[in-house]
Amino acid sequence: MTRSKKYRINFNLAVYNHRTRMYENEDGTYSTFAEARKKQWKCEKCQKMFPNYRMLLNHKIEIHSY
């Protein structure tokens, strides 16, 4: 059973690819998981990447609020 999400959350978890021996997500490929984790949350308006949701939320409040 699949559910449709009410809100879209821009979370990009990196997945390890055994053929290339790299971590991959929608935005690119990374040699280590720590490097990929630094870019797992994305702002919809400015496309800037953040390592955790709290930093993304603070960015949205400070930069994109009127």
User: pLDDT band for position 38 (50/70/90)?
Assistant: confident
The SS3 of residue 24 is strand
Question: Are the beta carbons of 10 and 44 closer than 8 angstroms?
Answer: yes
Length of the chain: 66
| Whether the predicted pLDDT of 64 surpasses 70 | yes
User: pLDDT band for position 19 (50/70/90)?
Assistant: very high
The SS3 of residue 43 is coil
The SS3 of residue 2 is coil
Model-level pTM?
A: 0.66
In the chain, what are the domain boundaries?
Answer: 15-63
Q: What is d(CA 65, CA 52) in angstroms, rounded to the nearest whole number?
A: 19
